[in-house]
Amino acid sequence: MAGSGPRGISTVGVIGAGQMGNGIAHVAALSGLSVVLVDVNQAALDKARATMTKNMDRQVAKGSLKAEEKDAALARIATGTEMPMLAECDIVIEAATEREEVKLSIFRDVCKLLKKEAILASNTSSIPITRLAAATDRPDRFIGMHFMNPVPVMKLVEVIRGIATSEETFDAVASLAWKMGKITAVAQDYPAFIVNRILVPMINEAVQTLQEGVGDIRSIDAAMKLGANHPMGPLELADFIGLDTCLAIMRVLHEGMGDSKYRPSPLLVKYVEAGWLGRKSGRGFYDYSQEPPAPTR
């Protein structure tokens, strides 16, 4: 039986079964909550369940999770392709692609299906929460809940209030994050919030440094790993995040802040136009068809 969550939250809906969505479902289920994971693509749902199983098996092998806890958590996760499955959820967390029009369409549709007291949250990494909330019938029960990738490993969740977000909604979501084993950083509703406001312009500057020939890929990544004590170099990290996601965030920053320092690097734009998106496409700043991955220029 699923455990009782904060302020009446016992069932969590997640929209989007990609890397972020399956990670959110993973940690929610392990915290004792019932989970409904929805995606329009059945193959994505099948892959998500396989990924969650593999990641929990790894936790069992390390001794941080018991086999029976893994089995119970996986049993708490229901999956499906139909939005009405979310009707009885206490909170629904959207984890779709970082495209505003996609998120707005999802929120317009899903808010019609939910009970009136349900909370809506977006895992957006950059899009203003107030703008997304305006597409719904419940801006007071709408909030940003930005998890970090990979969700089962990273401890932080940014919690972002929209202009209409109620104190009750904020408290419920902060408590939920704590129950899921996360530490919260509270951000105001400005483009890209805290983490990506700082991180992605650094990545963009690394791409521009590469374009200008200041250093090659290996040198840029080594400089930041060995010289600034970063665990990953910025170009390696860009590939991990996805170059399309990095570009989308830079465009949100450039539009929202109106400052030329946020202009996306032309090289980043070219890579995305070429379909070189990083790890997920097999090529970005590194070629992932070989081991170890090799720089592409």
Strands of the sheet with 119-122, listed across from one edge: 77-80, 34-38, 11-15, 91-94, 119-122, 142-147, 156-161, 183-187
**Domains in the chain with CATH codes:** 11-188 (3.40.50.720), 197-295 (1.10.1040.10)
pLDDT of residue 1: 39
* Nearest residue to 20 via CA among 51, 58, 64: 51
289 is in an annotated binding site: no
**Averaged pLDDT for residues 183-193:** 97
Rounded to the nearest 10 degrees, the angle between the axes of helix 195-211 and helix 234-241 is: 120
Per the CB < 8 A criterion, the answer to whether 143 and 161 are in contact is: yes
pLDDT of residue 2: 47
23 is in an annotated binding site: no
**Averaged pLDDT for residues 68-87:** 98
Give residue-wise pLDDT tens across range 215-273.
Answer: 999 999 999 999 999 999 999 999 999 999 999 999 999 999 999 999 999 999 999 99
16 is in an annotated binding site: yes
- pTM, 2 dp: 0.91
20 is in an annotated binding site: yes
149 is in an annotated binding site: yes
Active site residue 146: yes
Among candidate residues 94, 158, 254, 265, the one labeled active-site is: 158
Gyration radius of the chain's alpha carbons: 19
Among candidate residues 31, 122, 123, 196, the one labeled active-site is: 196
Active site residue 105: no
122 is in an annotated binding site: no
b/e string for 221-231 if b means 16 or more Cβ within 10 A? bebbeeeeeee
Among candidate residues 123, 125, 204, 265, the one labeled active-site is: 125
pLDDT of residue 280: 94
User: Band of the pLDDT at 8, cuts 50, 70, 90?
Assistant: confident
Active site residue 125: yes
Type of residue found at 139? P
Among candidate residues 22, 122, 123, 146, the one labeled active-site is: 146
